[in-house]
Amino acid sequence: MNNLLKIVAATVLMINGALAQVKWSADPAHTNARFDVNHLGISFVDGEFTKVSGSIDAPNKESFDNAKLDFTIDVNSIDTRIDARDGHLKSDDFFNAEKYPTMKLKSVSFKQGKKGKYVLIADLTIRDVTKKVTFDVTQNGGIITDPWGKTRAGFTAKTTINRFDFGMKYNDKLPSGVEAVAADVTITVNTEIVLN
């Protein structure tokens, strides 16, 4: 009888463990990482990384509180609509895409605040430098079933980083001392995730 109780208890724990996490995958056609940065102190340059992959392990199908996120960004997918500028950004002045072809974003914590709002603390790795970064995250429109029967959710995450913290060297200045490209870069990650 004692062995039977142990087997039942172990089975219940295994089932609960299996139900405790559900996996979502980023839809690559509807996921990107955008950025904008001040140029010459008078305007902004924006662009995006068009190839972003990732997964989210959530506690269940209805909640993302305490979810685990793991995303990879392809540096060579950078697109600012100007080929020469994209080439410069891939160089050692900025990302050094040849040596560091990917950026990584891995959650440390993901906590729900007000309805539809989360705070993400994540390890962001650029050029082999990893720093903890805090993102404000909005869940856009809840969880839906698309016309093809797939379960989807959408998120927008925003933060600002100092590019010099991640080893980006470019530091030209105007005679007035204004940076040609500002240190602070605003990042926006948009993702549509699909329940596996």
**What are the structural domains, with CATH classification, of the chain?**
21-195 (2.40.128.110)
Q: What pLDDT band is residue 2 in, cutting at 50, 70 and 90?
A: low
Q: What pLDDT band is residue 3 in, cutting at 50, 70 and 90?
A: low
Task: Report whether pLDDT(125) > 50.
Answer: yes
pLDDT value at residue 1: 52
- Give the mean pLDDT of 132-143: 96
Tens digit of pLDDT for each residue in 38-63? 999 999 999 999 999 999 999 999 99
The 3-state DSSP class for residue 67 equals coil
- Give the mean pLDDT of 158-186: 97
- Residue 12: enclosing H or E segment and its boundaries? helix 2-20
Task: Report whether pLDDT(157) > 70.
Answer: yes
Phi first, then psi, for residue 158 (nearest 5°) are -130, 145
Task: Report whether pLDDT(181) > 70.
Answer: yes
Separation between Cα atoms, residue 108 and residue 94, nearest integer Å: 26
pLDDT value at residue 180: 97
